[in-house]
Chains A and B, each alone.
Chain A
Amino acid sequence: MISARDVAVAFSQGWFKPKIRALDGFSVSVEPGDVFGLLGPNGAGKSTAMYCFLGLIAPDRGAVRVRGESPDPGSPLFRRIAYVPEDPHYHEYLTVREALDYYAALYGMRIPGSKVGSALERVGLAESQTMRISHCSKGMKQKVGLAACLLGEPDLVFLDEPTRGLDPLAVKEFRDVIVEMNRRGATFVINSHVLSEVEMVCTRVAIMNKGRVALQDRTQNLLKYDLESYTVEFSSAGQAPSCVGEAKTEAGRTRGIVPAARLGEFLGFIAEKRSTLYECSLKRLTLEDAFFDVLHQGPGHG
Chain B
Amino acid sequence: MGEQLAATVMANLRFYRRSRLLLGIALLFVGMPALSMIPSLFFLSSAAKFEIIQMVLRQATSAISLLTAALAMLAIHHHLTSRAYRVVVTKPCRPETWLLAHFLSGMLVGTALLAVSLLGCGVLFVVWRIPFQWGMLLIGVDQLLRLLVLFSAVSFLTIVLHPIVAILSLAVVREETFYQLIVVISAGLSNAEGRLERGFYTALRQLCSAAYYALPSSQPFDQKLQPLYSTFRASLPEAGLLALSILYAALVAALFYFLGVFALKRRRLV
B83 close to A89 (CB less than 8 A): yes
Residues of A within 8 A of B92 (CB): 74-79, 106-108
A interface residue count range (under 10 / 10 to 19 / 20 to 34 / 35 or more):
35 or more
B4 close to A108 (CB less than 8 A): yes
Residues of B within 8 A of A94 (CB): 11, 14
B183 proximal to A (CB < 8 A):
no
Q: In the complex, A51 Cα to B97 Cα: how many Å?
A: 21
B224 proximal to A (CB < 8 A):
no
Given A51-B270, A102-B7, A105-B3: A85 touches B87 (CB 8 Å cut-off) = yes
Given A56-B90, A76-B92: A93 touches B270 (CB 8 Å cut-off) = no
Task: Using CB atoms, name the residue of chain A closest to B2.
Answer: A108
A90 proximal to B (CB < 8 A):
yes
Task: Using CB atoms, name the residue of chain A closest to B7.
Answer: A105
Task: Using CB atoms, name the residue of chain A closest to B16.
Answer: A93
A57 close to B82 (CB less than 8 A): no
B179 CB, nearest partner CB in chain A, Å: 34
Task: Using CB atoms, name the residue of chain B closest to A12.
Answer: B268
B86 proximal to A (CB < 8 A):
yes
Given A91-B11, A98-B14, A108-B3: A103 touches B84 (CB 8 Å cut-off) = no
Q: Kindly identify, within residues 55 to 94 of chain B, every residue whose CB is under 8 Å from any CB belonging to chain A.
A: 82-84, 86-94
A54 proximal to B (CB < 8 A):
yes
Q: In the complex, A81 Cα to B93 Cα: how many Å?
A: 12
Q: In the complex, A93 Cα to B95 Cα: how many Å?
A: 20
Q: In the complex, A88 Cα to B270 Cα: how many Å?
A: 13
Given A74-B97, A90-B84, A91-B84: A106 touches B268 (CB 8 Å cut-off) = no
B83 close to A103 (CB less than 8 A): no
B178 proximal to A (CB < 8 A):
no
Ordered by A's residue number, 29 sampled pairs between the chains whose C-beta atoms are within 8 Å are: A47-B270, A48-B270, A51-B270, A56-B89, A56-B269, A58-B268, A73-B89, A73-B95, A74-B88, A74-B92, A74-B95, A74-B98, A76-B92, A77-B92, A81-B90, A89-B84, A90-B84, A90-B87, A93-B15, A93-B18, A94-B11, A101-B7, A105-B4, A106-B92, A106-B93, A107-B91, A107-B92, A108-B3, A132-B18
Which residues of A line the B interface, CB within 8 A?
11, 47-48, 51, 54-58, 72-79, 81, 83, 85, 87, 89-94, 98, 101-103, 105-108, 132
Extra 17 A-B pairs, beta carbons < 8 Å, given A79-B92, A93-B14: A56-B89, A56-B270, A73-B90, A73-B95, A74-B89, A74-B93, A74-B95, A74-B98, A81-B90, A83-B87, A85-B87, A90-B84, A91-B84, A93-B19, A102-B8, A108-B3, A108-B92
Q: Which 7 A-B pairs have the closest CB atoms?
A: A105-B7, A73-B89, A89-B83, A74-B94, A56-B269, A106-B91, A74-B89
Which residues of B line the A interface, CB within 8 A?
3-4, 6-8, 10-11, 14-15, 18-19, 82-84, 86-95, 97-98, 265, 268-270
